[in-house]
């Protein structure tokens, strides 16, 4: 399939899956129309890359449904000058979206094979503002903290305390929390009174593995 076809599919994805469900930040809508999601999935899955569901990326992991990636991204309210921490690089698709919208993305993945694959494609796409780490992300990345935004792409029974610590004052974190197959997607905002919590929706994520 040629580039023009993929571009049309991206535009259709924005119009039919994102806008009607309340994604309205113009910067977020622009990057979803731009980032080539099909390059982050297996070649045999490419024809489904812009469909309204998650897809397997190998090793029992998944790339989230476009709408969920968009909702998590919009909730972080990125303006362009933030340092962002991402836990669960996976395919690297969400990483690319964040790299388009923030100053720098620090991303941690526990499975070396997935991290390597994501690094290759993100280098090919010429992103220069991403740092990668292989390991357990539940401890965050203390050397690079604090972060104005943190995105966790795997479900945890509770919010890892290190991540709260590494959030800047006024910072925002989006994280799926719960121990059942359906979790709550939470937005946490660190303000002077403490942590303000909003429940965005129900969601299904692979588990965050604590090592």
- If the CB atoms of residues 47 and 191 are measured against ligand SAH, the closer one turns out to be 47
Binding characters for ligand SAH, 187-206, by CB under 6 A (x = yes): -------------------x
64 is catalytic: yes
Using CA atoms, how far apart are residues 126 and 88, in angstroms rounded to an integer? 20
Cβ contacts of 74 within 8 Å, gap of 6 or more? 23, 24, 25, 28
Tell me the C-alpha to C-alpha distance, in Å, between residue 73 and each of 34, 58, 117, 157.
15, 23, 22, 22
Contacts to ligand SAH from residues 58-97, by CB under 6 A: 61-64, 87-88, 90-91, 93-94
Query: Which of 137, 140, 171, 176 touches ligand SAH (CB under 6 A)?
Result: 137
Q: Give the interface size with ligand SAH as a residue count (CB under 6 A).
A: 24
Find the part of the chain contacting ligand SAH (CB under 6 A) among 7-15, 106-114, 161-169, 181-189. 106-114
* Contact call for residue 162 and ligand SAH (CB under 6 A): no
The catalytic residue among 51, 64, 75, 131 is 64
Instruction: Give yes or no for a contact between 103 and 30, defined as CB atoms under 8 angstroms apart.
Output: no
Which residues 6+ apart lie within 8 Å of 180 measured at CB? none
By CB under 6 A, tell whether 130 contacts ligand SAH.
no
Q: Taking CB under 6 A as the rule, does residue 159 contact ligand SAH?
A: no
* Positive or negative torsion for Cα 24, 145, 164, 191: negative
Which of the 8 DSSP states describes residue 82?
Answer: -
Task: Give first-to-last CA distance, the chain, whole Å.
Answer: 41
Which one of 154, 173, 185, 188 is in contact with ligand SAH (CB under 6 A)?
154
To ligand SAH, the closest distance from the beta carbon of 23 in angstroms equals 16
What pairing do the DSSP bridges indicate for beta strands 83-87 and 61-63?
A: unpaired
Beta strands across the sheet bearing 147-152: 130-134, 104-109, 83-87, 147-152, 167-177, 183-191, 194-203
Among 35, 98, 102, 153, binds ligand SAH (CB under 6 A): 153
Instruction: Give min distance, CB of 106 to ligand SAH, in A.
Output: 12
Q: In angstroms, rounded to a whole number, what is the distance separating the alpha carbons of residues 189 and 122?
A: 29
114 binds ligand SAH (CB under 6 A): yes
> By the criterion CB under 6 A, which residues form the site for ligand SAH?
57, 61-64, 87-88, 90-91, 93-94, 108-111, 114, 136-138, 153-154, 206, 208-209
The catalytic residue positions are: 64
């Amino acid at each position: 399939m040629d580039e023009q076809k993929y571009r049309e599919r991206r535009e259709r994805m924005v119009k039919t899956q994102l806008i009607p469900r309340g994604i309205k930040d113009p910067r977020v809508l622009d990057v979803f129309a731009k980032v080539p999601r099909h390059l982050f999935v297996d070649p045999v899955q490419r024809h489904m890359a812009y469909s309204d569901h998650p897809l397997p990326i190998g090793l029992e992991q998944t790339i989230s449904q476009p709408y969920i990636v968009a909702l998590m991204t919009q909730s972080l309210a990125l303006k362009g000058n933030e340092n962002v921490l991402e836990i669960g690089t996976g395919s690297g698709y969400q990483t690319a979206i964040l790299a388009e919208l923030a100053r720098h993305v620090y991303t941690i993945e526990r499975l070396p094979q997935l991290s390597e694959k994501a690094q290759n494609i993100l280098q090919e796409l010429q992103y220069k503002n991403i740092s990668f780490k292989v390991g357990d992300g539940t401890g965050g990345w203390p050397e690079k903290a604090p972060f104005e935004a943190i995105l966790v792409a795997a479900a945890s029974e509770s919010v890892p305390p290190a991540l709260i610590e590494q959030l800047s004052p006024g910072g925002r974190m989006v994280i799926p929390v719960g121990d059942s197959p359906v979790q709550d997607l939470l937005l946490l905002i660190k303000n002077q009174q403490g942590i303000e919590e909003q429940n965005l929706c129900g969601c299904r994520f692979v588990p965050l593995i604590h090592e």
